[in-house]
């Protein structure tokens, strides 16, 4: 690096200009996102062509670069931090966790090893302990902090795979799959796509999954559950990604326990129901699970990416994630990488800690229950406008069906182009549905009413087309 380039960057640090500039844009954005159309305008999307330029040969200017990014970038974002974005299960962001994330980004801490960041190690430890308390899990549970539920599901199943093989006298790490005893994978027919992905990545083969039939809400039918045994990994779900439904953990885990099967519970957004006094009944019996996957970036409203794996078998998880290297310095302190597939990792425990410390148990309860209340309000208002709701609104998901698939898809298109709110589609029981996820603390009663009116307008427009 030339002396000139280095001095230029030092100057930017000293004058604070670059970070100040970003801060100003950020404040502007956060306020605008509350009122703006959730999806970018056509003009904003067309303007993205301003990023199509030759790779610069020489050094640029931070001020101009940020200016460019903000001018053409901000308006082309999806305003999922606003109150009327109901697409996917995205979740908003708590101000305190954005701020903590900013600081953490400046600190640029690698949370792989304690010696790389004692702070990151300590806050992971604190989050682990608070999460166990929040969900009423025994002390033997350990947590890994990773990008999201897709990774967390992979870790949970990998830990189960390690443990089951070990119990059968086989070391999967050293002996691999060839000649190994058989492991069965049992999952509900309506499991999230990330489950199948993890199963495929771990080498079991999708065709070997024993799919269990589900009821009208996507819950595993107890009567259809095959006999379980000690070589089975059973995957359950807390929060169906469309209907929001929960498997009957109490009955199913009891069976799995007595059969000595490994139970993984995919609770990406739904597990948080266990943190609400009024919704806790949905997760009753989860303590019968061996591993859990969940996302703080969904229901808890931390920034991306903030996934968590919880596992009751520390040895199985850490053995499944084992790495070695002569330069690695392990100590008696927590080394975050021991619980995840990744080595270098940003310190996502920092913003998770900030969110949990800020909300406390009461605040988390209020946040989670509030999402449910808004979902119930949405379904009631839509029903009053003669929309048909096809799911039991047990948590934060509302599924709307119209007279025909064509009509449903037309209404989705109209909603999405209305600029009033944004909801996506899904297939439910073979038919097209509108899928509404209420996952942001920002969403108010008024946002819901305004959005319900936007549904009515979208239907009128479709009928008159």
Residues forming the site for ligand PLP (CB under 6 A): 89, 148-150, 192, 194, 239, 241, 266, 268-269, 295, 307
Question: Smallest distance, Å, CB 269 to ligand PLP?
Answer: 5
Question: Smallest distance, Å, CB 384 to ligand PLP?
Answer: 29
Query: Measured from the CB atom, is 149 or 408 closer to ligand PLP?
Result: 149
Strand (E) or helix (H) holding 372? helix 349-384
**What DSSP letter does each residue of 117-182 carry, written as one string?**
-HHHHHHHHHHHHHHHHHHT--TT-EEEEES-HHHHHHHHHHHHHHHHHHHTT--HHHH-STTPPP
Query: Measured from the CB atom, is 160 or 387 closer to ligand PLP?
Result: 160
Question: Smallest distance, Å, CB 94 to ligand PLP?
Answer: 17
Phi and psi at residue 212, to the nearest 5°: -105, 135
Residue 95 token pair: 């101000």
Query: Measured from the CB atom, is 304 or 369 closer to ligand PLP?
Result: 304
Residue 224 token pair: 């259809």
Decide: residue 29, CB within 10 A, 0-12 exposed, 13-18 middle, 19+ buried: middle
Question: Smallest distance, Å, CB 295 to ligand PLP?
Answer: 5
Query: Measured from the CB atom, is 39 or 269 closer to ligand PLP?
Result: 269
How far is the C-alpha of 298 from the C-alpha of 71, rounded, in Å?
28
Residue reference for tokens 């996952």: 439
Omega before 305 cis (within 30°)? Answer: yes
Task: Select from 430, 326, 452 the least CA-distant residue to 377.
Answer: 452
Residue nearest to ligand PLP (CB): 148
Query: Measured from the CB atom, is 124 or 295 closer to ligand PLP?
Result: 295
Strand partners, 237: 266
Strand (E) or helix (H) holding 188? strand 184-188
Query: Measured from the CB atom, is 87 or 148 closer to ligand PLP?
Result: 148
Question: Smallest distance, Å, CB 150 to ligand PLP?
Answer: 3
Residue reference for tokens 């919880």: 310
Question: Smallest distance, Å, CB 294 to ligand PLP?
Answer: 9
Query: Cα 198 to chain center, whole Å?
Result: 15
What region, left, alpha or beta, does residue 44 occupy, with left being phi > 0 and alpha being psi -120 to 50 degrees?
A: alpha
Question: Smallest distance, Å, CB 304 to ligand PLP?
Answer: 8
How far is the C-alpha of 376 from the C-alpha of 370, rounded, in Å?
10
**What DSSP letter does each residue of 271-307 carry, written as one string?**
GGGGGSTTTGGGGTTGGG-SEEEEETTTTT-PPS--E
Task: Select from 90, 188, 130, 116 the least CA-distant residue to 435.
Answer: 90
Query: Measured from the CB atom, is 348 or 459 closer to ligand PLP?
Result: 348
Query: Measured from the CB atom, is 204 or 269 closer to ligand PLP?
Result: 269
Query: Measured from the CB atom, is 303 or 458 closer to ligand PLP?
Result: 303
Question: Smallest distance, Å, CB 149 to ligand PLP?
Answer: 3
SS3 322: coil
Query: Measured from the CB atom, is 241 or 354 closer to ligand PLP?
Result: 241
Question: Smallest distance, Å, CB 309 to ligand PLP?
Answer: 11
Question: Smallest distance, Å, CB 188 to ligand PLP?
Answer: 11
């Amino acid at each position: 690096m030339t002396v000139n380039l280095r001095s230029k960057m030092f100057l930017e640090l000293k004058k604070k200009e670059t970070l100040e500039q970003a801060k100003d844009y950020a404040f502007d954005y956060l306020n605008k996102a509350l009122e703006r159309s959730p999806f970018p305008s056509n003009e904003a999307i067309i303007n993205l062509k301003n990023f199509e330029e030759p790779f610069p040969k020489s050094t640029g200017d931070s001020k101009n670069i940020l200016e460019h990014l903000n001018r053409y970038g901000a308006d082309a974002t999806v305003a999922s931090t606003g109150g009327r974005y109901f697409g996917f299960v995205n979740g908003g962001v708590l101000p305190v966790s954005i701020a903590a994330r900013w600081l953490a980004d400046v600190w640029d801490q690698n949370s792989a090893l304690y010696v790389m960041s004692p702070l990151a190690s300590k806050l992971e430890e604190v989050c682990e302990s608070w999460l166990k308390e929040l969900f009423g899990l025994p002390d033997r549970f350990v947590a890994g902090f990773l990008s999201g539920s897709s990774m967390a599901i992979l870790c949970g199943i990998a830990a189960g795979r390690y443990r089951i093989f070990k119990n059968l006298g086989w070391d999967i790490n050293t002996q691999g799959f060839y000649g190994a005893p058989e492991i069965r994978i049992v999952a509900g027919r309506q499991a999230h796509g990330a489950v199948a992905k993890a199963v495929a990545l771990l080498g079991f083969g999708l065709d070997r999954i024993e799919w269990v039939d589900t009821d009208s809400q996507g819950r595993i039918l107890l009567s259809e559950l095959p006999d379980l045994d000690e070589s089975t990994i059973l995957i359950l779900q807390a929060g169906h990604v469309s209907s929001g439904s929960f498997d009957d953990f109490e009955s199913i885990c009891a069976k799995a326990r007595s059969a000595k099967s490994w139970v993984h519970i995919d609770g990406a957004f739904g597990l948080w129901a266990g943190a609400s006094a009024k919704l806790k009944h949905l997760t009753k019996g989860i303590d019968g699970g061996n591993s859990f996957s969940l996302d703080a970036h969904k229901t808890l409203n931390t920034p991306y990416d903030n996934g968590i794996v919880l596992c009751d078998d520390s040895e199985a998880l850490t053995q499944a994630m084992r790495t070695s290297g002569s330069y690695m310095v392990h100590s008696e302190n927590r080394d975050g990488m021991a619980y995840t597939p990744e080595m270098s990792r940003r310190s996502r425990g920092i913003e998770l800690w900030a969110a949990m410390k800020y909300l406390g148990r009461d605040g988390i309860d209020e946040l989670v229950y509030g999402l449910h209340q808004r979902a119930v309000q949405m379904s009631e208002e839509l029903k009053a406008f003669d929309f048909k709701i096809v799911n039991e609104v047990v948590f934060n998901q509302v599924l709307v069906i119209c007279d025909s698939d064509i009509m449903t898809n037309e209404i989705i298109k109209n909603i999405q182009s209305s600029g009033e709110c944004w909801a996506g589609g899904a297939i439910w029981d073979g038919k097209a549905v509108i899928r509404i996820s209420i996952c942001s603390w920002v969403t108010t009663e008024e946002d819901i009413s305004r959005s319900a009116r936007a549904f009515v307008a979208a239907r009128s427009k479709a009928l008159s087309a």
